[in-house]
Every structure is written in structure tokens, then in C-alpha cells.
């Protein structure tokens, strides 16, 4: 508890191609003792079945999104396919000040933009065990039209090339192993001296 109030939380960029299982890994991660919260992004894409406004995303329209861009509301935003996606800035800064590790589940373009404005961010790239596994996961999801499916595979290949820009790459073959690996990374990063300095300084 003392630790959480005297150390600042990490900003964790969490990316990976669509179908790499980022959501499942994050859900598993939330059960672990790493004090994380996932930032809720804003998007203009239509809500999918089962999604809840304010939980999965803040759903909005293009006009309102563009107004918020002008107001500098976002830490980063992208146009991905036909839709805008953006990370609200204020809330994540508040959480980090409280010692919470904030996870941004965002695509690679946004990941790059975050690193530009916030170089201390820890970036983790989740990959499927193979391209075949990725295809079958996307097909199994059943939310994509054939055209969207093809587009997503193409985007996935392009995104995989950008794994090199990330600090860490984690394979999501066995979910529990993958979540353990991500958990270990976050714990180790939180214990870097630069992140523990505030706490140490209170004792000297």
C-alpha cells in the first residue's frame, strides 16, 4: 500500500495484431497482483454485440471525436480502417499518479505515438504462435465480413513487422504462460531504480 502511494505507476503500451489474444491476456492479467487498470479508449466504430459503452470503449461520432482532438483531449489517436480510436489523457495521468500501472491496449501506430510523447512507457507486443493460428482465431471470432477479414490479415502482417519497435515481445500460445510473462515484465519494470527513486528518497 505504501509502495503504491510513493511510486508512480507505469504506462504500459500493449499491442499485437488483431487475433493475437490481447483481450484474453489482459483479462487474465487483471487477476494477478500487478495493480493494473486498462485505459478505456474512445472510438467512432460501431458497437459490437456484447460491448458496453463506457466499459469496452466510449462510443462516439466522428464530429464529437474531431472536436475533442482540437481540444487536445487525447494522449494519442489514430484513424484505423474507417474509424477513429483515441486514448483520453487526463484519466490515465491521474491513475499513474496514484501508483496504478495503466495499460493502453492500442494498435502499433498509436504505440509509436505514445512513445514519442511519453518515452518512459513500457511497450509489450503480443504475437500469436503462428500466422495460421492468427487466421483461425480471426475466423473463429465470426465478427468479420470476408473483406474485413482479408483487410485485418493484411494489417496484421504489417503490424507484425513493427514488433521491432517494442521493448518486449511475448508469445500468446498458452494463455497462462503468456499472462505470467507479461506480469513478470511489469513487475520488473516497476522495480527499476528510476521508478523506485521517489520511495528510496523518502528514506534518505
Question: Residue 39 CB, nearest distance to ligand 5GP (Å)?
Answer: 7
Question: Residue 6 CB, nearest distance to ligand 5GP (Å)?
Answer: 29
Question: Residue 3 CB, nearest distance to ligand 5GP (Å)?
Answer: 29
Question: Residue 18 CB, nearest distance to ligand 5GP (Å)?
Answer: 6
- What would the grid cell of residue 162 be? 513493427
Nearer to ligand 5GP, 1 or 55 (CB): 55
CA distances from 20 to 76, 132, 199 (A): 22, 11, 36
Alpha-carbon gap, residue 178 to 95, rounded angstroms:
25
Nearer to ligand 5GP, 73 or 80 (CB): 80
Nearer to ligand 5GP, 7 or 144 (CB): 144
Please check whether residue 17 is in contact with residue 134, taking contact to mean a CB–CB distance below 8 angstroms.
yes
Alpha-carbon gap, residue 2 to 18, rounded angstroms:
38
Following DSSP, what letter does each residue of 27-46 receive, concatenated? HHHTTSSS-EEEPPPEE-SP
Nearer to ligand 5GP, 131 or 196 (CB): 131
Q: Which residues bind ligand 5GP (CB under 6 A)?
A: 18, 41, 45, 76, 78, 80, 85-87, 105-107, 109-110
Amino acid at each position: 500500500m505504501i509502495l503504491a502511494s510513493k511510486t508512480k505507476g507505469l504506462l504500459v503500451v500493449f499491442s499485437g495484431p488483431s487475433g493475437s489474444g490481447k483481450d484474453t491476456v489482459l483479462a487474465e492479467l487483471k487477476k494477478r497482483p500487478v495493480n493494473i487498470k486498462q485505459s478505456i479508449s474512445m472510438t467512432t466504430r460501431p458497437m459490437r454485440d456484447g460491448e458496453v459503452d463506457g466499459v469496452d470503449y466510449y462510443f462516439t461520432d466522428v464530429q464529437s471525436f474531431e472536436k475533442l482532438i482540437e481540444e487536445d483531449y487525447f494522449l494519442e489517436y489514430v484513424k484505423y480502417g474507417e474509424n477513429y480510436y483515441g486514448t483520453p489523457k487526463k484519466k490515465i495521468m491521474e491513475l499513474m499518479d496514484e501508483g496504478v500501472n495503466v495499460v493502453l491496449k492500442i494498435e502499433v501506430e498509436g504505440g509509436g505515438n505514445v512513445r514519442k510523447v511519453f518515452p518512459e512507457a513500457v511497450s509489450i507486443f503480443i504475437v500469436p504462435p503462428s500466422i495460421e493460428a492468427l487466421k483461425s482465431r480471426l475466423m473463429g471470432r465470426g465478427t468479420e465480413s470476408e473483406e474485413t477479414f482479408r483487410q485485418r490479415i493484411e494489417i496484421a502482417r504489417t503490424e507484425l513487422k513493427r514488433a521491432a519497435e517494442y521493448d518486449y515481445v511475448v508469445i500468446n500460445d498458452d494463455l497462462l504462460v503468456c499472462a505470467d510473462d507479461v506480469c513478470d515484465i511489469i513487475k520488473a519494470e516497476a522495480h527499476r531504480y528510476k521508478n523506485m527513486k521517489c520511495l528510496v528518497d523518502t528514506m534518505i
